Amino acid sequence: MPRLQPENMEHNKSLYERVNDIASRKGCTPSQLALAWVHHQGNGVCPIPGTTKIENLKENIEALSVKLSAEEMSELESIASVGVKGDRYGPGVSTWRTSDTPPLSTWKGLMEILKKYKLQELETQKWHIKDFREVEAGGRAEKTVRTTEEAVESCSDWRWMGGATGGVGGVAFVDGKCEICGDPAYVRTACEGSLKRLGVDCIDLYYQHGIDTRLPIEVTIGELKKLVEEGKIKYIGLSEASASTIRRAHAVHPVTAIQLEWSLWSRDVEEEIIPTCRELGIGIVAYSPLGRGFFSSGPKLMENLTEGDFRKVHNNAKKETEYDKKYLGQFVSLPAVAKAKPSSLIVEHENFIL
């Protein structure tokens, strides 16, 4: 996380200090003030502060009692508008800024190509076409596919919740999480797997966590719509989606919630995404409303983190470099890259994500 690096934290600490001054006047903590700011964004916003300490839950709940006037909201926003130094994610991490998907016409053209090559029974959850832009440009795409290992679904937290309820009755707002894979067959497999593990017949809110940029969003939402019609899920959510992706998805089936990072130091979503959600009547689930702990610990955040904390790992430039080298090595070893420079191949295939 670039913004947590020492050279950026030195600049960003001024934001914490000014928020701390206002919190002192209000008789609350900086984290309570930051959380209250998100609460005051309206009824359609639900912040989800994460914590590993039970004692922090009480402090977070007490933030509900912090009332902010219009003047105080403006004061906080004027402070935050000064600008935070450093990106919230390091290079190579997919965010809403990179979540645009190919047009639906691309997918239809691809289906024609598969039909031509007699690949109608292609298992979409195991095979992925890499370059849609070639199809769109005139059907010059070859049968460029790659196998993927069986997708692992991240549902450990919710397995525990399902076990706690003993499978009796419904589980309120169970978030079915899956890796970034929007293939219709995988979406269905992931959902049915979640239902089985949780011991429920229907999931209230089912997210597409992250946007699969290999597929038109209409294809993914189309399958989720079928799951709604079959009574397996009630509502559809998206995570880290761009404004254009949200509009396209909502046109296929109403999207109930958009999950995104929104806090006093992550306000870029206010440019397009928040207005789009307001216009379409979509709820906003704001994660990391405390700035990933910044408004709890301030500039000493990194000092207070334990070994293995993802914020500390992501902040280590050396480890990021080693990680990149590992994947570059795997990339270079691919047969398709054997006779080409990695850089030239990446430039040629802009949709390829390393």
Residues pairing with 266 in the sheet? 263
Three-state secondary-structure class, residue 284: strand
Convert the pLDDT of each residue in 116-174 to its tens digit: 655 544 433 333 333 333 333 333 222 222 222 222 233 333 333 333 333 222 222 33
Tell me the C-alpha to C-alpha distance, in Å, between residue 186 and each of 12, 124, 130, 179, 350: 41, 8, 17, 10, 24
Query: What is the helix (H) or strand (E) element at residue 340, kind and residue range?
Result: none
- 145-147 and 127-129: which strand pairing? antiparallel
Three-state secondary-structure class, residue 170: coil
Question: What residues contact 299, with CB distance under 8 A and at least 6 apart?
Answer: 9, 10, 12, 13, 16
pTM: 0.66
Task: Look at the alpha carbons of 177, 181, 182, 188 in this order and tell me if their dihedral is positive or negative.
Answer: negative
| Amino acid identity, position 95 | T
The candidate with the shortest Cα–Cα distance to 174, out of 140, 198, 210, is: 198
Is 190 within 8 Å of 176 (Cβ atoms)? yes
Is 290 within 8 Å of 263 (Cβ atoms)? yes
Mean pLDDT of the chain: 70
The candidate with the shortest Cα–Cα distance to 299, out of 3, 7, 10, 1, is: 10
Tell me the C-alpha to C-alpha distance, in Å, between residue 122 and each of 95, 125, 330: 29, 9, 26
Q: Residue-wise pLDDT tens for the chain (354 aa)?
A: 777 677 777 777 788 888 889 999 999 998 899 999 999 998 899 888 876 677 778 888 888 899 999 999 999 888 776 667 767 665 555 565 656 777 776 666 666 666 665 554 443 333 333 333 333 333 322 222 222 222 223 333 333 333 333 322 222 233 444 357 888 998 999 899 999 988 999 999 999 888 888 889 999 999 999 999 999 999 999 998 999 999 999 999 999 999 999 988 888 899 999 999 999 999 999 988 888 777 777 767 666 666 666 666 555 444 444 444 454 454 445 544 445 544 444 433 333 332
